[in-house]
Amino acid sequence: MRVLGIETSCDETAAAVVAGAGLVLSNVIHSQVALHAAYGGVVPELASRDHLRHGVPVVREALARAGLSFAELDGIAVTCRPGLAGALLVGTQLAHGLAWATGLPLVGVDHLVGHLSAAYLDFSQVGGRAPERAPELPFIGLIASGGHTSIYRVDSLEPEGTREIGGTRDDAAGEAYDKVAKLLGLGYPGGPVIDRLAAEGDARAISLAKPMPQRASLEFSFSGLKTQVARWVDEHGRPGDDATLRDLCAAFQARVVDSLLSKTFRAAQREQVSCVVLGGGVAANRELRSRAERLARERGVHLTLPPLEACTDNAAMIALAGVAPLRRGEDHRGALQVSTQSSLPRVTRKGRGIRRG
């Protein structure tokens, strides 16, 4: 089965062709980072307009790189939730038009299910690498990105087979990176630059309290950590391009990574699951990846880290997530709707306060 995937949930216009169980035949991404950098974050209206400009060219390029025509495809998969409403509408309407024009079946895919599916992608045909060992079901999946941070128990790569067991009460991990980078004058996006600077700093040089250290909880909170950095800057001033800046980035990143990994591996122990998968843009973080590998070895857990190109938003993961419903004969033409909310049930309530029940 060969599936065209289309992804426009936020600020990446992406198209890809995936075959079978995850062999990537093409993977094309038009990034909007330069467009939004001046604003310190994604501007929804600008994102939608840029998707309109680049949607068709990106799809054409994906087909050309795969060496396929529409007649050689078996279906189309498109992100329909969650994401920016306008951006999602651009992608789904493009997919609808292509499906009606070509007669191909169309399925809508949950973006988060796509991130969980990314661990199975094989990029060896397009200059990347194949997964060393595909994750075995069930697995514990951590999705950490600019818009989402949650831990899931995954019994099947379907919305009904995926259950959230912990999430963030406030900021997503990637959102915290962007906000801290803005406080420090490091530009947008914040994740890559903080990761680079943190590697040259000493996390012990600046003391930051652990976010939500309660041992029993699988929930996250990063807004307080961001506030700690803001107070440090208020008290000491914004550091220049020096050792202090690197130490502050290292201290911040260490606390984020501690929180993400301690709770993820605790979830695996609690659920008696021996496989852990990391996904989302923050899963490209070098410290997170190296410390996750060390923890997995120490605890005898099988860890799957998707290739870097599979961590950030891409259409290959959407195409793969669409394979199963297409094989079942599903066709959402004329019935596909977009939503800013995921189809995966959320158990973590936003905001402060004691959780009961």
Question: Do 245 and 169 fall into the same domain?
Answer: yes
Statement to judge: residues 166 and 121 lie in one domain: no
pLDDT at 352: 59
347 located within any domain = no
Q: According to the model, what pLDDT value does residue 81 have?
A: 97
78: closest CA among 254, 352, 336? 336
CA dihedral 223, 150, 19, 77 (to 10 degrees): -80
State whether 92 and 189 are in the same domain.
no
Instruction: Please report the pLDDT score of residue 357 as a whole number.
Output: 33
User: Do 250 and 287 form a contact (C-beta atoms < 8 A)?
Assistant: no
158 or 172, higher pLDDT: 172
pLDDT, position 129: 84
Residue 125 and residue 200 in one domain = no
Residue with tokens 């599903």: 330
* pLDDT tens digits along 97-131: 999 999 999 999 999 999 999 999 999 999 888 87
Q: Are residues 222 and 282 in the same domain?
A: yes
pLDDT of residue 1: 93
Has residue 357 been placed in a domain?
A: no
Residues 217 and 96 grouped into a single domain:
no
Compute the mean pLDDT over every residue in the chain, rounded to the nearest whole number: 94
pLDDT of 355 above 70: no
The angle subtended at Cα 208 by Cα 167 and Cα 287, nearest 5°, is: 65
The pLDDT of residue 22 is 94
Question: 340 or 20: which carries more pLDDT confidence?
Answer: 340
**Phi and psi (nearest 5°) for 73?**
-95, 160
Look at residue 158 in the predicted model and tell me its pLDDT.
Answer: 86
Q: How many domains does the chain have?
A: 2
Which residues span the domain enclosing 229? 139-305
Q: Please check whether residue 286 lies inside any domain of the structure.
A: yes
For residue 356, is pLDDT > 50? no
Same domain? For 156 and 125 the reply is no
Domain membership flag for residue 169: yes
Tell me, what's the pLDDT at 133?
Answer: 79
CATH of the domain at 114: 3.30.420.40
Tokens 């493009």 belong to 94
What interhelical angle do 85-102 and 44-66 show, nearest 10? 30
The residue count for the chain = 357
Task: Give the pLDDT confidence of 182-208 residue by residue, as tens digits.
Answer: 999 999 999 999 999 999 999 999 999
Q: Are residues 30 and 112 in the same domain?
A: yes
CA distances 177 to 41, 95, 253, 306, Å, are 11, 33, 8, 21
Q: Are residues 18 and 124 in the same domain?
A: yes
Q: Which pLDDT value is given to residue 159?
A: 86
* Residues 47-59, mean pLDDT to the nearest whole number: 97
Q: What is the pLDDT of residues 22-40, one digit of tens each?
A: 999 999 999 999 999 888 8
Q: Residue 259 above 60 pLDDT? A: yes
Quick check: is 273 in a domain?
Answer: yes
End-to-end CA gap in the chain: 45
Whether residue 76 has pLDDT greater than 80: yes
Is 114 in the same domain as 157? Answer: no
